[in-house]
Amino acid sequence: MIDIKRIRKEPDVIKEALALRNDNPELIDQILALDAKRREWVSQTDMLKAERNALSQQVAKQKAENRAADVSEWVEKSKIIGEQIKSNDEQVTLLESQQQAIVSLLPNIPSEKTPRGADESQNVEIRRWGEPRVFNFEPLPHWDLGPNLNMMDFERASKLSGSRFVVLKNKIAALNRALISFMLDVHTVEHGYTEMNVPHLVKRESMFATGQLPKFEEEAYRTDPDDYFLIPTAEIFLAGMHRDEILSEKDLPLKYVAYSSCYRREAGSYGKDVRGMIRVHQFEKVELVKYCTPETSFDELERLTADAERILQLLELPYRVVSLCTGDLGFGAALTYDLEVWLPSYQKYREISSCSNDTDFQARRANVRYRNAENKMAYVHTLNGSGLAVGRTLVAVLENYQNPDGSITVPKRLVPYMRGTEIIP
RNA sequence: GGAGAGAUGGCCGAGCGGUCUAAGGCGCACGCCUGGAGAGCGUGUUACGCUAACCCCGUACGUGGGUUCAAAUCCCACUCUCUCCGCCA
């Protein structure tokens, strides 16, 4: 959520930010008009309330001095003011909700570090790690490798659940599980994150707090009679966990890691990645979330990104880091680094993690504050990143570690998690 | 699903029509004391809106509505938490 005070003070900055994100800057004028009107009503109504309070005081005082005192004049006057207040309050509430409706559609302001650009093509590569493997045979895509081993079943998945689902079997299922344990171990033991296991169903307001709602409702799965949402990422829980809380500065940064399934409708991605398990409705992800002070959040983002990169390095998967440009930035993010892993089937780097600094955007929505050194309240900054998307990591392992005979070499670090299996099958 | 209890400040907890932002305690901050720390003593300490800032003023005792000149306090609905029973991995 963007601070309304900031919108009032520097509307042009916000408008420019919206334009950079290909969003509509006219929203700001609408908000300002509503805000001015609302403030006018509020101050009118405050004056009336002050007047009524004074009258009530007088009544109380009179009654205290003399129980039989005639206070009907005050009472009559107060009654009339009361009616006025009531209708004013209704007006204020209406204006408030109208204003709120628009403000909650505004995305976060990109940071100065975010490259300017209209779309994906103008994202900026920051660094590369590792060399894409040169195959001396024709490498297969994972949607052939898996089924050939009889360990990945797209047909059964779609028979039971429809398109964009996958069933893993046998050693590939085990490899998937190994990845999860491995990632959690690295982040907890080596990087100091606290492991969390979270509900996959959350209430509507939890989706609002992290910015999924109201704008992206069509992206989410919703349960009907109870209005629960299936989480599209564990971030919903981790970043919303401290809603309406006041944290102490000495506890910051808070670092959480959670493994969860993620559920996404993938509305509007009809032609994209229809083969394989790159884009499915249900996938698994290990998610990192931090809460920190505003002063440290950009440094913390560098560290969080490095933490996610560490997984790729330990698995010896070649990747690059890309800074998303303003036009490609997610709703709540001020700065985002995507990690892209090399996939032989695409002959391209493909997103496997997205690490963002949401600054105070989510903290305002979720009302997560802390007391700073001067004992003043301030909003925390929140960060999140995948560490990593498990399904896509599995794909990357299968494709990059494939052998000419269709078998898969298990990455060294995963062997202990596979009870010693070095080659699949 | 059935029965009951509850929701008050950073936390615990009192208040059950006006003098209540709200006793008391804990915590926190500052001061005194101390070689230092602790204990003890003293002072201060809700947030938000409005404001350049302060003061004033307004709002807020789970949420929404109602009664009243006036609601933390009375009434209604809802949400959530807890206890017991039922069902259940």
| b/e burial code for range A260-295 (CB count within 10 A of at least 16 → b) | bebbbbeeeeeeeeeebbbbbbbbbbbbbbbbbbee
The most confident of the ranges A160-174, A233-247, A265-279 is A160-174
Q: For A294 and B33, how far is CA from C1' in angstroms?
A: 39
CB A387 within 8 A of CB A187: yes
Question: Does the annotation mark A354 as catalytic?
Answer: yes
The contacts of residue A416 (CB under 8 Å, 6+ apart) are: none
The residue annotated as part of the active site, out of A260, A353, A354, A386, is A354
Checking if the pLDDT of A136 tops 80, the result is yes
Q: What is the mean pLDDT of residues A336-340?
A: 97
Average pLDDT over residues A245-249: 81
Bases of strand B lying below 7 A from some protein CB = 10, 18-19, 28-29, 47-50, 57-59, 65-66, 69-70
Angle of CA points A50, A51, A52, to nearest 5°: 95
Nucleotide showing the shortest C1' distance to residue A45 CA? B58
pLDDT of residue A67: 65
Is residue A365 part of the annotated active site? The answer reads: no
The overall average pLDDT reported for chain A is 92
Q: Is A94 near strand B, with its CB below 7 A from some atom of it?
A: no
| Domain spanning A120-424: CATH 3.40.50.720 | no
**Residue A181: band (very low, low, confident or very high) from pLDDT cuts 50, 70, 90:** very high
When pLDDT is cut at 50, 70 and 90, the band that residue A385 belongs to is very high
Identical fold between A4-103 and A120-424: no
Two structure tokens written together for A404: 């000419």
Rounded Cα distance between A176 and A390, Å, is 7
Would the Cβ of A49 be found within 7 angstroms of any atom in strand B? yes
Residue A159 pLDDT > 90: yes
What whole-number distance in Å separates Cα of residue A218 and Cα of residue A350? Answer: 24
| Nearest nucleotide over every DNA/RNA strand to the A371 CA, judged by C1' | B10
* Distance from C-alpha of A302 to C-alpha of A359, rounded to nearest angstrom: 14
The answer to whether the pTM exceeds 0.90 is yes
Rounded distance in angstroms from the CA atom of residue A295 to the C1' atom of nucleotide B13: 37
Q: Which DSSP helix (H) or strand (E) runs through A161?
A: helix A154-161
| A392 is known as an active-site residue | yes
Q: Is A79 near strand B, with its CB below 7 A from some atom of it?
A: yes
Structure tokens at A269: 């991605």
A8 pLDDT above the threshold of 70: yes
Give distance CA A245 / C1' B34 (Å). Answer: 38
Nearest to A407 by CA among A423, A395, A393, A392: A423
Mean pLDDT confidence for A175-195: 97
Q: In the structure, how far is the CA atom of residue A49 from the C1' atom of nucleotide B57, in angstroms?
A: 9
Instruction: Give yes or no: A320 in active site.
Output: no
**What crossing angle do the helices spanning A11-20 and A26-65 adopt, rounded to 10°?**
140
Question: Among candidates A209, A238, A235, A203, which has minimal Cα distance to A367?
Answer: A209
Q: Which of A279, A320, A371, A413 is catalytic?
A: A279
From the list A214, A263, A259, A206, the residue with the least C-alpha distance to A237 is A206
Only one residue has tokens 């204003």, namely A99
Nearest amino-acid residue to B17, taking CA and C1'? A60
Q: CATH assignment of A4-103, given 1.10.10.10, 1.10.287.40, 3.20.10.10, 2.60.40.420?
A: 1.10.287.40
Q: Domains of chain A: which residue ranges?
A: 4-103, 120-424
- Give the distance, in angstroms, between residue A44 CA and nucleotide B57 C1': 12
The answer to whether the beta carbon of residue A46 comes closer than 7 angstroms to any atom of strand B is yes
Q: Which residues numbered 356-415 in chain A sit less than 7 A from strand B, measured from CB?
A: 375, 377
What digits encode the pLDDT tens for the residues A19-74?
999 999 999 999 999 999 999 999 999 999 999 988 888 888 777 777 666 778 88
Determine the nucleotide nearest to A82 by Cα–C1' distance: B69
pLDDT band at A314 (very low <50, low <70, confident <90, very high): very high
- CA of A81: nucleotide with nearest C1': B69
The token duo for A230 is 């299936």
Residue A264 is among the residues annotated as catalytic for this protein = yes
Please tell me which residue, A371 or A275, carries the higher pLDDT value: A275
Mean pLDDT, residues A245-266 taken together: 89
Q: Point out the catalytic residue in the list A351, A371, A407, A413.
A: A351
**A52 in contact with nucleic chain B (CB within 7 A):** yes
Predicted ipTM? 0.84
